[in-house]
Amino acid sequence: MTVKIYGPTASRASRALWIVHELGIPFEHVPVEMKDIKSADYLKVNPNGKVPALVDGDFKLFESMAINIYLAAKYGKDGFYPSGLEDQALVNQWSFWGMTEVEKSLLTILIDMFMTAPDKRKPDAVAEAQKALPKPFGVLNEALAGREYLLGPAFTVADLNLASICSWAKPIKYDFAPFPNVAAWLDRCLSRPAYKAARGNK
């Protein structure tokens, strides 16, 4: 049964596309356009009218991190989804943490910079987002001290999920100088062939 990933590449669907490339499983990409995600047909796939969504046989799932953790647990090999309960809890920790502590601030800056007309920009919101980021990036920098990846020497779904969020730091040219471990880790993650393949090798 082929896994179906719904959503355009330039959306959070990119996370799910990265992981299916990483896992090397057959998949179908349904690049439903943003203008169609409130349609009755798409609402049957994801009643939230948001992307991404996953369909795996009769099983449907929304929420990008839940989708990726499911795919890693079902199809991952060689510890990509770790076997120990504690490491699995750390996968959840970093995935939820990325969504709650980092994603909103990066997205606020990204949207303001690239998707907002100059007269609609919100410098106060951007300044607040900039102010919020050093705290979580400091935590991440510490966590990565002396290790290549979040759970140790191997790249896992925890890295993929968090790096998919942190990748938004690239277009906004976030200054990682105070956080060299984060900078090196992010480059390590984003240089993976599967990340590039998911973006059409752009």
Ligand X SMILES: N[C@@H](CCC(=O)N[C@@H](CS)C(=O)NCC(=O)O)C(=O)O
Binding interface with ligand X (CB under 6 A): 11-12, 37, 49-52, 63-64
Question: What's the order of all strands across the beta sheet hosting 59-62?
Answer: 27-30, 3-6, 53-56, 59-62
Of the pair 43, 89, the CB lying nearest ligand X is at 43
Closest residue by beta carbon to ligand X: 50
In the complex, what is the shortest distance from the CB of residue 45 to ligand X, in angstroms, rounded to a whole number? 12
Of the pair 21, 50, the CB lying nearest ligand X is at 50
In the complex, what is the shortest distance from the CB of residue 129 to ligand X, in angstroms, rounded to a whole number? 17
List, in order, residues 6 or more apart from 120 with CB less than 8 Å away: none
Of the pair 63, 181, the CB lying nearest ligand X is at 63
Spatial separation of the C-alpha atoms in residues 138 and 68, rounded to whole Å: 25
In the complex, what is the shortest distance from the CB of residue 166 to ligand X, in angstroms, rounded to a whole number? 14
Of the pair 116, 134, the CB lying nearest ligand X is at 116
34 close to 56: Cβ distance less than 8 angstroms: no
Q: Look-up: residue for tokens 């607040």? A: 128
Spatial separation of the C-alpha atoms in residues 16 and 5, rounded to whole Å: 7
- The gap between the terminal CA atoms of the chain, to the nearest Å, is 29
Spatial separation of the C-alpha atoms in residues 22 and 160, rounded to whole Å: 9
Structure tokens at 113: 């910079």
Of the pair 23, 67, the CB lying nearest ligand X is at 67
In the complex, what is the shortest distance from the CB of residue 7 to ligand X, in angstroms, rounded to a whole number? 7
| CA atoms 148, 108, 168, 77: torsion sign | positive
In the complex, what is the shortest distance from the CB of residue 64 to ligand X, in angstroms, rounded to a whole number? 4
